[in-house]
Amino acid sequence: MSRSGLVDPDTDELAQDFVRFSLDAGVLRFGEFSTKAGRLSPYFFNAGGFDDGAKLGRLAQFYARRLQQAQAAGALQFDMLFGPAYKGIVLAAAVAVELARLGINVPYAYNRKEAKDHGEGGTLVGAPARGRVLIIDDVISAGTSVRESIALIEAAGGTPSAVAIALDRQEKASDGSGGDAPWSAVQFVQQQLGLPVVAIATLADLLQVLRDTDAQALAAHTESVAAYRRRYGVC
């Protein structure tokens, strides 16, 4: 579990508040959506929908509070933030601002998709990669972005220490041949790449919110999401 040792998943108010916020913001939606693995998912999480200052600021607050919990529990330590292009760039910057507001002032960096051969040059922008580097992203779909981030950070002299994401879908990854792997993308990063992963919320939290809601329109999606988890879930 990406939150193991941090909180009781059945009583995690931060996670359930985040799910409700994502629903209100239209970032978390229900219907039929095709995933990268070719599955039809009954829900869709699009972090690009945190598209104004108020939403982005609130999102950064959720990340910062989860990171504070993880630090207090000894689940991770970090000296700086890294945001993989493209969504991670905005996330790392926003989270750095919120952490500084809370008294935790750390540098941040991000990467370009193509190296620059003029000005400061290179692929990384921002602070030099030094010490323990926390990767900030929205979700982990296949672990590709994490692997690329690890290579960039290590090449620049830093040490990848952990990954923070908004939502852990808790579903089986693709095995690369059209089948289902026995692990999730988050578990792959934890077990194969050796990095702890901290998520603000998980699919289990989404289901808990749906089961607890008094809104019939939301509650109507409970069974489809539960069925999807029974078919593709890993925990």
In a domain, 6, yes or no: no
> Does residue 163 belong to any structural domain of this protein?
yes
Task: Quickly state the pLDDT bin for 24 (edges 50, 70, 90).
Answer: very high
1 domain-assigned: no
Q: Does 116 participate in catalysis according to the annotation?
A: yes
Q: And the tokens for 201? A: 């919320």
Does the pLDDT value for residue 116 go beyond 60?
Answer: no
3-state secondary structure the chain: CCCCCCCCCCCCHHHHHHHHHHHHCCCEEEEEEECCCCCEEEEEECHHHCCCHHHHHHHHHHHHHHHHHHHHCCCCCCCEEEECCCHHHHHHHHHHHHHHHCCCCCCEEEEEEEEECCCCCEEEEECCCCCEEEEECCCCCCCHHHHHHHHHHHHCCCEEEEEEEEEECCEEEECCCCCEEEEEHHHHHHHCCCCCEEEEEEHHHHHHHHHHCCCHHHHCCHHHHHHHHHHHECC
Q: Name the residue type at position 122.
A: G
User: How large a percentage of the chain has pLDDT more than 90?
Assistant: 80
- Which residue is catalytic, options 55, 87, 113, 116? 116
Judge whether residue 51 has pLDDT over 50.
yes
Confirm if 136 and 63 have CB atoms less than 8 A apart.
Answer: yes
CATH, residue 93: 3.40.50.2020
Count of structural domains, the chain: 1
Say yes or no to pLDDT of 5 above 50.
no
Q: Per the residue annotation, which of 55, 87, 118, 172 is the catalytic one?
A: 118
Tell me whether residue 36 is in a domain. Answer: yes
CA distance 33 to 92: 27
Whether 36 sits among the annotated catalytic residues: the reply is: no
pLDDT digits (tens, 9 = 90+) for 52-61: 999 999 999 9
Query: Domain range holding 98?
Result: 13-232
Residue 98 maps to a domain: yes
**185-233 tens-digit pLDDT:** 999 999 999 999 999 999 999 999 999 999 999 999 999 999 999 999 9
